[in-house]
Structure 1
Amino acid sequence: MRKAPFHARTRTHPSAHAEGKGACSPFVRLHDNVALAVDRKLGWQHLPTPLGLLTLMGLRDNLRRKNLHDTNGYPAQGVPDIEPPAARHLTERTADGSYNDLDNPRMGMAHSRFGRNVPPDVTFPEPEPQILTPSPREVSRTLLTRDEFIPATSVNALVAAWLQFMIRDWVSHGQGAIDDPWRIELEDGDPWPTQPMLVPRTLPDTTRTEDGDGLPPTYINENSHWWDASQLYGSDLATQRRMRSGEKGKLKAPRDGMLFADAPELDPANTPGFWLGLLMMHHVFALEHNAICDRLSREFPAWSDEQFFQRARLINAALIAKIHTVEWTPAVISHPTTVTALRANWYGLLGERVQRLLGRISGNELLSGIVGGNTEHFGVPYSLTEEFVAVYRMHPLVPDDWSFRSAADDSLLQETNFRELTGRRAYEVFANHGLPDLFYSFGTSHPGLVTLHNYPKFLQEYQRPDEKLMDLAAVDVLRIREMGVPRYNEFRRRLHLEPAADFATLTDNPVWAEEMRRIYDDDIEGVDLMVGMYAEPRPKGFAFSDTAFRIFVLMASRRLNSDRFLTRDYTPQVYTQAGLDWIENNGMTSVMLRHFPELRSPMRAVDNAFTPWNTLHPVT
């Protein structure tokens, strides 16, 4: 008996709808409707840059009105306590992210709920056995397994390290509960050591009431939702205090590669997903924080340790946000239109040169950028979303095989595999090679393309620090289903895109089309979001899919728009002029060269630190 299409397997709850945020003029709505029509007919990526920008503007306006949905208004109990309001909240980021919005101090704080980019009525997870159909393990083995490494040649391997460094700031569902796991039955011939495969369930939202409200499940973000560098500073005050040196605002300096030598309970190697790339990024931005403190101490010698720390944190977090906005993202989606659009998020269409000469000359974000402008939530309290988490599942960026070479002469130092770079083994590799050599090796090698048949083999048999064995490819597929994120075609419908008519139109690879048809039993509506995004043709210069990009169009700017410290309080009074100058005069290249001047030769003439560096000629 044929299954019902997946997009029909939803429950509705009218009171859960949250459409139509914000009023707009008839002209704006006309422009937005034309943008949708043009995008569907021609595709923004096929238009000349000015027309492509106009189209992306219209797409973003539509997404802002129709694809922001609040879950924090659902019934709640036992929400986290917050400290009483204080004068310092005007100029300092709190450890847990509270008081970013002074009128709604819980907004975006740690241990608040993920929001949604699709209407709540389509976010009920499928019941069993549908939620396990087809088997996530078989999807992993048949469609995701890397047969041969497919590189993303336009970027370097730092993009993989940077992305996980950002993820550690933005989102965490926790490590899951194993007392009632998902049970994935294995096919005959599957080499997995235990039957069935057990996957911990995502931790439930402990703030939800149990009165049967009929609303879809919600989940808690253990991190602050704000772009506040919580991966460096922690998401609670006790952790933050353990990270500080107590002198001139500085963080504790790493010793012998160990980030927290005197506080092993804070060691990120205890958390699943830790690897050498994360260790490197933690090091360099801890050093950057301390360099900012040194700069501030020359300007304000009478300041207290607390004053130095709080200003340095603000400056470092904003610099990280800038690097991601104008360097990392344009590198991984290097279409001329998106490069211009992303820089406009920071500087506006008038550009960096005008802003440096004249400052913000307009309150309009299109002309002068989002940063330093008005704070705007678009009618919906800010949070990161489950759909945002889903599209950032980009493990194919990670290569399986790694070579480490000297930054002095490109001589080979070590060849190894990704397994040897994970967990506590990362410290051993770090101890054997200096940071200049490690960054040079990352900068001169390529990450993987985010596509089918390119998932790291090691991550399909990944042993967590608690020794639980996981197939992370299968877990990624299952997690997206578990969170109630719609499958591929329904996801596209909800983002105002045409769904795939069949497998042959989903991908331009006929072999993949046939593999998907068999796995999904000829049901195009059953294709998983991650599989569809990995399979679809990518726009020119993209390392990932256009479908994922739609969430970026919305959320990349929202993270800036909603953050008071990146909009109305991005001022000399809050940051100091020295702090604003530090942010505007620096980027990933200058950060690298400040701490590792040995990298000057390989980085010479490199416009973007996330694009391939110059390979040195070996000494013979």
Structure 2
Amino acid sequence: MKKPENHGVPYSLTEEFTSVYRMHALLPDTLNLRDIDAQPGPNKSPPSAEKVPMENLVGHKGEKALSAIGFEKRIVSMGHQACGALELWNYPLWLRDLIPQNTDGTDRPDHVDLAALEVYRDRERKAARYNEFRRALLLIPISKWEDLTEDKEAIEVLNEVYGDDVEELDLQVGLMAEKKIKGFAISETAFVIFLLMASRRLEADRFFTSSFNEETYTKKGLEWVNTTESLKDVLHRHYPEITEKWMNSTSAFSVWDSPPNSHNPIPLYLRVPQ
């Protein structure tokens, strides 16, 4: 497209996208640091060195700790550690008792339960509850808890919190409780929002339309854009020693010691999903 098409609405990320893009359950409670001075093991896996609680890696104290660990060790360690599942009861414990800090590094008096705060923020912003949210996306709403999940324990707790009124279900809770489509890491509800926003960016963002040129990106930059297919390509461009020595997987989003995919000469964006 030669110019943006925003369909009458200036380009922006929506409130709905903000609500859905809260995925703190992906974070672990501890970071398993790896020994990058050792030789790679099977599938390029480095041996474990130590486990560091995540609460030690945030705030001013965390900045110093991360600097001492170093970038390569951090990224290799994270690459070889699986993320958490986006499900109920999987919220990182350290985010349930955060100590906010002032810019000078001093602690503030009131601790923060980020899980509760996320629900509160949606309510404060008048974000749609789960069923209303699905209706707005032309998705089928639930009429009973069994439509949402097959987890009996979850159904019991949902009944305790919301009774039998499924219309009261908070969006964040519904997204985590929703049974996933086979092969999906996120809920159908979240996926639809991501699909809509990704399409809108391609149409309405000037950096994909009127400014998609050498004048904006430079000749080399545009070459990178047109020849880069994955995050692994980006990492390899800047840190080839990391990808060559420590990444066995085809995708940087897989655990790095995963088996690589068989070679496929067809570019990623032209492949037909299996």
Q: Contact 1:517/1:524 (CA < 8 Å) preserved in 2?
A: no
Would the alpha carbon gap of residues 457 and 569 (structure 1) be closer, same or farther in structure 2, given more than 3 Å must change? same
Partner residue, 1:481: 123
Partner residue, 2:97: 461
TM-score (norm 2): 0.83
In structure 1, C-alpha distance between the alignment counterparts of 2:215 and 2:171, rounded to whole Å: 45
| Post-superposition CA distance 1:514-543 (Å, at most 9, x none) | 110111122111111111111111122222
In structure 2, C-alpha distance between the alignment counterparts of 1:456 and 1:416, rounded to whole Å: 14
Q: Amino acid of the residue matched to residue 85 of structure 2? A: L
Q: Amino acid of the residue matched to residue 99 of structure 2? A: Q
| Post-superposition CA distance 1:426-484 (Å, at most 9, x none) | 22322332322111100000111111010111111111114231111110001011111
Find out whether 1:575 has 2:217 as its counterpart. yes
Q: Amino acid of the residue matched to residue 382 of structure 1? A: Y
| Structure label with greater radius of gyration | 1
Q: Structure 2 stretches of 5 or more lacking a match?
A: 39-45, 103-107, 259-274
TM-score (norm 1): 0.38
Shift in Å, 1:572: 2.6
Q: Amino acid of the residue matched to residue 157 of structure 2? A: E
Shift in Å, 1:385: 1.3
For residue 231 of structure 2, the aligned residue among 571, 588, 591 is 588
What aligned pairs does 1:382-421 form with structure 2 within 5 A after superposition? 382-409=11-38, 410-421=46-57
SS of equivalent residue, structure 1 residue 611: coil
Q: Amino acid of the residue matched to residue 378 of structure 1? A: H
What aligned pairs does 1:21-420 form with structure 2 within 5 A after superposition? 374-409=3-38, 410-420=46-56
Shift in Å, 1:373: 5.1
Identity among equivalent pairs (%): 40
Partner residue, 2:84: 448
Would the alpha carbon gap of residues 573 and 594 (structure 1) be closer, same or farther in structure 2, given more than 3 Å must change? closer
In structure 2, C-alpha distance between the alignment counterparts of 1:383 and 1:591, rounded to whole Å: 26
In structure 2, C-alpha distance between the alignment counterparts of 1:451 and 1:436, rounded to whole Å: 30
Would the alpha carbon gap of residues 592 and 426 (structure 1) be closer, same or farther in structure 2, given more than 3 Å must change? farther
Q: Amino acid of the residue matched to residue 539 of structure 1? A: I
In structure 1, C-alpha distance between the alignment counterparts of 2:199 and 2:35, rounded to whole Å: 39
Shift in Å, 1:552: 1.1
SS of equivalent residue, structure 1 residue 555: helix
In structure 2, C-alpha distance between the alignment counterparts of 1:474 and 1:499, rounded to whole Å: 24
Q: Amino acid of the residue matched to residue 449 of structure 1? A: A
| Post-superposition CA distance 1:66-123 (Å, at most 9, x none) | xxxxxxxxxxxxxxxxxxxxxxxxxxxxxxxxxxxxxxxxxxxxxxxxxxxxxxxxxx
Find out whether 1:601 has 2:245 as its counterpart. yes
Partner residue, 1:556: 198
Partner residue, 1:422: 58
In structure 2, C-alpha distance between the alignment counterparts of 1:518 and 1:589, rounded to whole Å: 45
Q: Contact 1:503/1:514 (CA < 8 Å) preserved in 2?
A: no
In structure 2, C-alpha distance between the alignment counterparts of 1:472 and 1:504, rounded to whole Å: 28
In structure 2, C-alpha distance between the alignment counterparts of 1:496 and 1:546, rounded to whole Å: 12
Q: Structure 1 stretches of 5 or more lacking a match?
A: 1-371, 616-620
In structure 2, C-alpha distance between the alignment counterparts of 1:391 and 1:574, rounded to whole Å: 31
In structure 2, C-alpha distance between the alignment counterparts of 1:526 and 1:561, rounded to whole Å: 35
| Post-superposition CA distance 1:40-82 (Å, at most 9, x none) | xxxxxxxxxxxxxxxxxxxxxxxxxxxxxxxxxxxxxxxxxxx
User: Structure 1: which 4+ aligned runs deviate by more than 4 Å?
Assistant: none
Q: Contact 1:406/1:440 (CA < 8 Å) preserved in 2?
A: no
Q: Amino acid of the residue matched to residue 598 of structure 1? A: E
Partner residue, 1:566: 208
Would the alpha carbon gap of residues 412 and 429 (structure 1) be closer, same or farther in structure 2, given more than 3 Å must change? farther
In structure 1, C-alpha distance between the alignment counterparts of 2:115 and 2:53, rounded to whole Å: 18
For residue 434 of structure 1, the aligned residue among 33, 50, 70 is 70
SS of equivalent residue, structure 2 residue 197: helix
Partner residue, 2:153: 511
Q: Amino acid of the residue matched to residue 427 of structure 1? A: E
In structure 1, C-alpha distance between the alignment counterparts of 2:147 and 2:234, rounded to whole Å: 44
SS of equivalent residue, structure 2 residue 59: coil
In structure 2, C-alpha distance between the alignment counterparts of 1:498 and 1:597, rounded to whole Å: 46
SS of equivalent residue, structure 2 residue 74: helix
Partner residue, 2:105: none
| Post-superposition CA distance 1:486-520 (Å, at most 9, x none) | 11111111111111110111111111011101111
In structure 2, C-alpha distance between the alignment counterparts of 1:590 and 1:489, rounded to whole Å: 40
In structure 2, C-alpha distance between the alignment counterparts of 1:432 and 1:390, rounded to whole Å: 34
In structure 2, C-alpha distance between the alignment counterparts of 1:391 and 1:573, rounded to whole Å: 35
Q: Amino acid of the residue matched to residue 437 of structure 1? A: K
Partner residue, 1:542: 184
Q: Contact 1:407/1:598 (CA < 8 Å) preserved in 2?
A: no
Q: Contact 1:451/1:544 (CA < 8 Å) preserved in 2?
A: no
Would the alpha carbon gap of residues 597 and 433 (structure 1) be closer, same or farther in structure 2, given more than 3 Å must change? farther
Would the alpha carbon gap of residues 552 and 408 (structure 1) be closer, same or farther in structure 2, given more than 3 Å must change? same
Shift in Å, 1:413: 2.8
SS of equivalent residue, structure 1 residue 469: coil
Q: Amino acid of the residue matched to residue 592 of structure 1? A: L
CA RMSD of aligned residues (A): 1.8
SS of equivalent residue, structure 1 residue 464: coil
Q: Contact 1:387/1:485 (CA < 8 Å) preserved in 2?
A: yes
Q: Amino acid of the residue matched to residue 590 of structure 1? A: D
Count of aligned positions? 243
In structure 1, C-alpha distance between the alignment counterparts of 2:9 and 2:117, rounded to whole Å: 31
For residue 533 of structure 1, the aligned residue among 168, 175, 188 is 175
In structure 2, C-alpha distance between the alignment counterparts of 1:577 and 1:507, rounded to whole Å: 50
Q: Contact 1:402/1:416 (CA < 8 Å) preserved in 2?
A: yes
Partner residue, 1:16: none
Shift in Å, 1:374: 4.2
In structure 1, C-alpha distance between the alignment counterparts of 2:220 and 2:64, rounded to whole Å: 38
In structure 2, C-alpha distance between the alignment counterparts of 1:590 and 1:549, rounded to whole Å: 25
In structure 2, C-alpha distance between the alignment counterparts of 1:578 and 1:596, rounded to whole Å: 18
In structure 2, C-alpha distance between the alignment counterparts of 1:554 and 1:593, rounded to whole Å: 30
